[in-house]
Structure 1
């Protein structure tokens, strides 16, 4: 299956998982909280405990769109990473951090979400993308030679989003898709180009 189609299927699967989780979290469901705790421990830097999170990842794996998980390690990594980063982002938040699909609503990409960090606290005045700490981390993620190295910087940026007063949300469907594509050298450059555009580009304002 061509990678863009598989990448979209990864995003659809992750969005479905996160949609159910987010509904449970906002309803203060203990099972959803326990799931987030398991997934968060995995992304916080320790080795993956597959027996702990296997049911969360594989129990309803969509074979019709993603095939056998044993045959696509990139898809498994993208799904596991996206869910773990969502769990980290959602921790202790009273609102849903995942932007779930709504018709006509522009997607909040990872680049756009990073742009919002510090926007209203003086670090990023007038919405300009001048937060050097965020820019450094994005540049370091792009330069990291391994997927695991990139994820280390993504984790740091998600923590900044979580602690920001702007109540930053992220489209995890598109983020999971990009996490799949970024593992392939031929597609990684296009992903970072899109994120760069979303981070730096300011559309001209319309004046009356």
Structure 2
């Protein structure tokens, strides 16, 4: 359900309206902060959120896991969106996008940044480390996007111990399995020369 909510918000934010531009700017200001510290983002992050995603944490006066995941995904999407329309790429995981960024670039530096995301222990750390990779993705000669709807779902699961392990494993598989396939293609090209 978190993913579908983020999908609808991304649809709203991809318009060229003054509201969308203002909300993207507000979301960018919220990167790395807790949702409680960014009231300017509430209009986009909390408005129209399904009740079952909001009220679970209300008694504890904290954001629910769904609110935190949506907020983190949307703030990072807003940063990525500055590069144009390439930010949202359906079906491409965060790990696969990091691999695409590393292919032909400074692989060691990208891997270090990717590893920092993988060893994060909470959502704030993920946001801070992913921010650096996303800045590189949007600045690349050929900008790299990924599926922010799936990213939001992953961020939701990341907040639970078993979920964190499975999300990191899948991102790692996407990063390394793709590199292996890419290396095989390069070897075939060299053999054919």
TM-score range, shorter chain: 0.7 to 0.9
Where does residue 186 of structure 1 map in the other structure? 162
Q: How is 1:130-145 mapped onto 2 (pairs within 5 angstroms)?
A: 131-145=107-121
CA deviations 1:75-118 (Å, max 9, x no partner) are 11100000000000011x23241124xxxxxx100001111115
More RCO (CA 8 Å, sep 6+): 1
- Number of corresponding residues: 178
Cα 1:150/1:63, change in 2 over 3 Å = same
Cα distance in 2 between the residues matched to 1:186 and 1:94:
35
Cα distance in 2 between the residues matched to 1:41 and 1:67:
22
1:69, distance to aligned residue in structure 2 (A) = 5.8
1:111 and 2:98 aligned: no
Where does residue 3 of structure 2 map in the other structure? 11
1:40 and 2:28 aligned: yes
Q: Give structure 2 stretches of 5+ with no counterpart.
A: 189-193
The TM-score with structure 2 as length reference comes to: 0.82
Where does residue 84 of structure 2 map in the other structure? 94
The runs of at least 4 aligned residues of structure 1 exceeding 3 Å deviation read: 45-50, 69-72, 202-206
Cα distance in 2 between the residues matched to 1:74 and 1:47:
12
Cα distance in 2 between the residues matched to 1:94 and 1:147:
26
Q: CA RMSD in A?
A: 2.3
Residue aligned with 1:70, SS? helix
The TM-score with structure 1 as length reference comes to: 0.77
